[in-house]
Amino acid sequence: MMVDSVKEARDRGVLGSVRPFAGFTRTGVVWADGHEEAVDAVIWCTGFRPALSLLAGLGVVQPDGRVTTAGTRATALPGLWLVGYGSWTGFASATLIGLGRSAKATVHDIQAFLVPAQAGQA
């Protein structure tokens, strides 16, 4: 959504985009050219339909087609959060109003996840 804050971040050079990656590894992503990149956190958001096929190789998608979560955090893979998947990732999280609450909680969860890792690197 190209709202003013997104436009401003893009104009400042702190927000950019890259083509979608080809897949996940247990520690990051694989790009179309085959190179792997480690990532600290991934927020996997649904669009009009759940798209979980890229997560299949990680062993996190259950037979019922869902990813087991605690809030929006995937319980089987540290560093993976799912946002917008309806009742299984937060009350009304598939709606714009519910998504806002869910996204705010996700930001706090990711901050708590990342801060201990960063403190150990200082």
Say if residues 67 and 55 touch (Cβ distance below 8 Å). yes
At 97 the pLDDT is 77
Q: How confident is the model over 61-98, as pLDDT tens digits?
A: 999 888 999 988 999 998 999 988 877 777 777 777 77
Domains and CATH numbers, the chain: 4-121 (3.50.50.60)
Q: How confident is the model at residue 120 (pLDDT cuts 50, 70, 90)?
A: low
- Tell me the pTM: 0.74
Q: How does the average pLDDT of the chain come out, rounded?
A: 83
Q: Give the span between the Cα atoms of 74 and 116, in whole angstroms.
A: 19
Letter string b/e over residues 107-120, b meaning 16 or more CB atoms within 10 A of that residue's CB: eebbeeeeeeeeee
At 18 the pLDDT is 76
Say yes or no to pLDDT of 118 above 60: no
With CA atoms as reference, report the closest residue to 46 among 79, 87, 9.
Answer: 87
Least confident of 18-22, 27-31, 61-65, 118-122: 118-122
How many C-beta atoms lie closer than 10 Å to residue 14's C-beta? 8
Residue 50 corresponds to which tokens in the numbers above? 């759940």
Q: How confident is the model over 44-55, as pLDDT tens digits?
A: 887 667 788 888
How many C-beta atoms lie closer than 10 Å to residue 3's C-beta? 7
